[in-house]
Amino acid sequence: MKQTLTSPGGAPASLLAFGTMQFGGRADDAASRAMFDACIAAGINHFDTAHVYTDGASERMLGEYARDDRDDLIIATKAGYMGGSGAENIMASCEVSRQRLGMDTLDVLYLHRFDPDADPRETFGTLARLKAQGHLRHVGLSNYAAWQVVKAAGIAAEFGLDIAVIQPMYNLAKRQAEVEILPMADDLGILVAPYSPLGGGLLTGKYAQGGTGRLTEDPRYAARYDRDDIRSAAAGLSDLAAELDVSPTTLAVAWVAAHPTGPSPIISARSVKQLEPSLAAMTFEMDADTYARITALSPNPPPATDRLEEQV
């Protein structure tokens, strides 16, 4: 993986990041603290939150847990999911996030999603001022298409900014990022921290066993993964996991991390028990044969040119 992110004390980003979307929501304080501690024990130092997560509880709880080890950790949050990417909203969101986290400086401030109505020079000029004021160290982009990242990187450079990290969705069931996002980031030297490596829990195998989660509770996730080929890939992953005597969760996360461009997947959970098989991906040795067998479970996305006859 690319080491474009370091902690204030200079520690490189860990192989995996941990997303705190559940803090203060599906995970109470005790469960959240236990997961944070388990991540630290496993060697994770990269933690991700957002202004909109659990009405601010996620940022407040993460800030409290991270306080004693602040210099060794990379703390990322996001702005602009609501209210757009204009100067006023970005500045206000950044200030609230710093207060909630109890941190003068954010290691990463992401633009949470592309805003087609914002003036990008206003947006990146604002981020440059926030960096000059010491309020953030790195700029990231979440949910951006490849062309949007390239355009943003060019405009950001006018203000002396680099795009250090991006967050696309990427997992065995959703491989669109392979077409342009991953090679684009690799070429530009941008770290990719993909979210949803477990496909909303589909790739854990729990739904086939009657379990509940985002796919049964959130219609957006249900629609996202409601395809026969996706369910077939999940079933195939579970069969392979049984053959290898490993959790399908571990395989799903390790497969994302094993992509040749070196992504740093963001894992998450509601409890330490649920988190453990994802943490096991930190040390899982993904050999070439296993990677190829997992990859073959879902179709390769067509190339950007759509010239299928040239796809190798």
Residue 171 has pLDDT above 90, yes or no: yes
- pLDDT for position 61: 98
280 SS3 class: helix
Q: What is the pLDDT of residue 19?
A: 98
| Plot region of 168 (φ>0 → left; ψ -120 to 50 → alpha; else → beta) | beta
Predicted confidence (pLDDT) at residue 311 exceeds the cutoff of 70: no
Distance CA 20, CA 61 (A): 9
- At 226-247, the pLDDT tens digits run 888 889 999 999 999 999 999 9
**pLDDT at residue 215 above 80?**
no
With bands split at pLDDT 50, 70 and 90, how would you rate the model's confidence at 157? very high
Write the CA distances from 76 to 46, 73, 89, 108, 269, integer angstroms.
8, 10, 18, 4, 18
Q: Of the ranges 2-11, 122-131, 161-170, which one carries the lowest mean pLDDT score?
A: 2-11
Q: How far is CA 222 from CA 133, 219, 230, 231, in A?
A: 43, 5, 12, 12
Least confident of 121-135, 155-169, 217-231, 256-270: 217-231
309 pLDDT band, cuts 50/70/90, is low
Q: Which fold has domain 1-167?
A: TIM Barrel (3.20.20)
Distance CA 33, CA 16 (A): 18
Mean of per-residue pLDDT scores for the chain: 95
pTM: 0.95
pLDDT digits (tens, 9 = 90+) for 110-137: 999 999 999 999 999 999 999 999 999 9
Q: Which of the four pLDDT bands, split at 50, 70 and 90, describes residue 306?
A: confident
Q: Is the pLDDT of residue 277 over 80?
A: yes
At residue 214, the pLDDT reads: 75
pLDDT score, position 218: 79
Q: What is the pLDDT of residues 50-71, one digit of tens each?
A: 999 999 999 999 999 999 999 9
